[in-house]
Amino acid sequence: MAQRIGALGNVALKDGRSVVIRNLRETDWDALATFGQSLPKNDLLYLEDDFSHPELITRLANAAHAENWCQLVATTKTGTIVGYTAAQRMPGWSNHVANIRLIVQPEYRRSGLGMQLAHAIVEEARDMGATKVTVDMLAALNAGQAIFSRLGFAVEGQLARHAIDRDGNLHDIVIMSAFVRV
Ligand SMILES: CC(C)(COP(=O)(O)OP(=O)(O)OC[C@H]1O[C@@H](n2cnc3c(N)ncnc32)[C@H](O)[C@@H]1OP(=O)(O)O)[C@@H](O)C(=O)NCCC(=O)NCCS
């Protein structure tokens, strides 16, 4: 395991590297765009959000201070963004639910960063007042399911051919959830 779990600030990873986990800032546009461009084709193909698209980067950066939306990034000493996670409170009768996103830059995978970010964003979701957290991902993405299972999430459902990738192929998605203490 990495040395420290579930908080913002400096985090030592399992491979000896360290990153800072902090809130996304409006001024992070360039760093976030570079992060998006660094993701492999498969991620860009299968992720719900298209991080290679400048409009998405603008929407995320502009929402840095949005109510009901917490966005965290992991940065290196040089300010490069190597991980992104977000929790967004749902509208209407599901406003006690926060939906989570999580992506780690490939060169930083398998060093515990995904787990650290996931833990941190669940804490942030709880601080925003959410009592239920959900995450949805392609059924084929084992890594994300492993992380959220470890954090106590359970599979709540699977939707057949519910996602269409950027090549036009259909995929099943898995919805995982957990109830959190306020
Ligand atoms: C999912 C993702 C965030 C994991 O990031 P990561 O930094 O590699 O995760 P960690 O190093 O904390 O791994 C935690 C555990 O997840 C599991 N895991 C991670 N990568 C895995 C893989 N490729 N295959 C199988 N299990 C994997 C392992 O159990 C791992 O623990 P271990 O290294 O002690 O065996 C990263 O692979 C990613 O960004 N994927 C694309 C986006 C995505 O699928 N997001 C999840 C849904 S929102």
Instruction: Tell me the residue ranges of DSSP E strands in the chain.
Output: 9-12, 18-23, 69-75, 81-89, 97-104, 132-138, 154-164, 170-179
pLDDT in tens, 12-45: 999 999 999 999 999 999 999 999 999 988 787 7
Per-domain residue ranges of the chain: 9-179
Q: What is the pLDDT of residue 47?
A: 80
pLDDT in tens, 137-161: 999 889 999 999 999 999 999 999 9
3-class SS string, 18-39:
EEEEEECCHHHHHHHHHHHHHC
pLDDT exceeds cutoff 50 at 6: no
Is the beta carbon of 146 within 6 A of some atom in ligand 1? Answer: yes
C-alpha 24 to ligand 1 mean position (Å): 21
The whole-model pTM stands at: 0.94
C-alpha 147 to ligand 1 mean position (Å): 6
Q: What is the pLDDT of residue 2?
A: 39
C-alpha 92 to ligand 1 mean position (Å): 32
What three-state secondary structure class fits 5?
coil
User: Which atom of ligand 1 lies closest to the CA of 14?
Assistant: 11
Q: What is the CATH number of domain 9-179?
A: 3.40.630.30
pLDDT band at 3 (very low <50, low <70, confident <90, very high): very low
